[in-house]
Amino acid sequence: MTRAARGALVVGGLVVGLGLIAWLVSGGDAETVSDAVPSHALHELAWPEEGPERLLDAALEPSGPPLEEVAQQLAGAEGVVCTVEPSVDGGTARLTLDADIAGDWLAVAAARAHVLVLSEIPAEGSGTLRVEGFAPEPIRWQAARDGAGSCTPDPLVLRPAEAGVVGTVGGADGPSGSFGLTACGQAATVDAEGGFFAAAVPGEPCEVVLRRHYGVWEFVERVEVVPRMGRDEVLELELPPFEAVLPLVVEDGRVGAVWDEGQDWAGAVVHTVDGEAVPADADGFHLATGGRAGTVAEVELELDGERQLVEVPRKALTFEDWLVR
C-alpha cells in the first residue's frame, strides 16, 4: 500500500463516538432557510451513521445535493464553513480546541474538496486541525453562529505530512472486525487489507490505540512511537481471534459479576480455565480463552475456602450487555 493510496483512503467505520452520533441524530432533516424560491431543488439530507464525511461525499456525486448546502446543514447553528487548499479527497478530520477554551464542546470537523466544516464549537476560538494525510495546522474562527462565521487563515493551506505511522491490523476481517483505531490523536482509516496510515509531527510522540469491546470488557493495545522526518514508523497490531468470552467480570483475580442468572460466584477466586492457570491478578482479558459462543469452559473457582470445578458457557456479549450491567 503506497503513501498516495493511504492518503486517499475514504473514511470507514471508525469508531467516531457516541457524542458525535447524538449530534448527527439531533440535526434532523434539512429545512428551507428562506421563503424565497430557490434556483435549485432542495434536497432532504439523510444524516449518516458513520460520520459527516458521508454526506459530503454524497454531495460530490454528479446527482448529489449542492456541496455548500450540505456543508451549512452540517455546520448548524454553532458552526462555521471554511475553505481549505489543496482539495481533500478522503480520510477523516479532527479539531482539537486550545486548552484555554472553556466549556464542554464536541468540536466536530469534516473536510471534502475545498470545504471544511467545523461544528459544535464556541462562537470564537482556536485549535489544531488534523486532516488525515496532512500535517497538523493551527486555525482560528470567529462569529461562528447561524452561518455568519469565518476562519483564519482563509483559505487554510494544508501541508503534506512530513512524518507518519504506517501499519496493519491483523484480524480486522474476522469475528473481531468491529473495532476502533486512533493514531496521533486522530481516528485512522483501515483499508480492506487492514492497512492504515496516520500523519504525525516529526519528533513528537504519537500514541496508537487499538480497541475492541467484548461487552463485559474492552481489549486495548497502546503503542507509542516517535516518527522522524521522512521516516515512517511501521507497526503490526493484532486483534484477538475470538468472538466470545466467559460471561464473568473479573478484577484482580476475583469474580465481580456474572452474566448468568442464578449463579452466585461473586468474590470467588479464579484459579484455572480449561486446566490452564490464570495470573493472580487476572482480568476479563485473561479469561477470554477463545472459542465460539455456546462452547463450554471448565473453570476452577475458590469460594469461602472451597474449590469447585464449574462449567461456564462462552457468550458473545454485546456492547448493550455491558451498558445494561
Q: Give pLDDT, residue 155.
A: 93
CATH number at residue 181: 2.60.40
Q: Are residues 253 and 228 in the same domain?
A: no
Q: Quick one: which of 76, 61, 60, 165 has its CA closest to 111?
A: 60
Residue 212 confidence (pLDDT) above 70: yes
Q: How confident is the model at residue 217 (pLDDT cuts 50, 70, 90)?
A: low
Q: Are residues 253 and 316 in the same domain?
A: yes
pTM of the model: 0.48
Whether 254 contacts 267, CB under 8 Å = yes
How many domains are contained in the chain?
A: 3
Residue 11 lies in a domain: yes
How far is the C-alpha of 215 from the C-alpha of 190, rounded, in Å?
A: 23
Length of the chain: 325
Tell me the helices (H) and strands (E) count for the chain, helix number first: 5, 20
Q: Are residues 107 and 35 in the same domain?
A: yes
Q: Phi and psi of 180, rounded to 5°?
A: -125, 145
Residue 51 lies in a domain: yes
Whether 109 contacts 93, CB under 8 Å = yes
Question: DSSP characters for 48-74?
Answer: -SS-THHHHHHHTSTTSPPHHHHHHHH
- Note the pLDDT tens digit of each residue in 4-58: 333 333 333 333 333 433 333 344 443 333 223 222 232 333 333 456 888 898 8
Q: Give pLDDT, residue 185.
A: 83
Helix (H, G, I), strand (E, B) or coil at 172: coil
Q: Are residues 39 and 121 in the same domain?
A: yes
Q: Are residues 305 and 224 in the same domain?
A: no
Q: Are residues 139 and 33 in the same domain?
A: yes
Burial annotation 290-320 (CB, 10 A radius, 16+ → b, else e): ebeeeeebebbbebeeeeeeeebebbbbeee
Helix (H, G, I), strand (E, B) or coil at 183: strand
- The C-alpha cell 469461602 sits at 304
Domain endpoint, select from 123, 157, 191: 157
CATH number at residue 280: 2.30.42.10
Domain endpoint, select from 185, 212, 238: 238
Q: What is the dihedral of CA 314, 320, 323, 324, to 10 degrees?
A: -80
Q: Quick one: which of 181, 220, 172 has its CA closest to 11?
A: 181
Q: Are residues 46 and 131 in the same domain?
A: yes
Q: What sections of the chain are H helices per DSSP?
A: 3-7, 18-27, 53-59, 67-75, 319-324
- Note the pLDDT tens digit of each residue in 135-191: 889 999 997 787 778 999 989 999 888 888 989 998 776 544 468 898 988 888 888
Helix (H, G, I), strand (E, B) or coil at 166: strand
Rounded to 5°, angle at Cα 67 from 122 and 189: 75
Q: Are residues 152 and 177 in the same domain?
A: no
Q: Which domain holds residue 65?
A: 3-157
Q: Are residues 181 and 220 in the same domain?
A: yes
Q: Are residues 35 and 74 in the same domain?
A: yes
Residue 255 lies in a domain: yes
Domain endpoint, select from 157, 184, 204: 157
Residue 243 lies in a domain: no
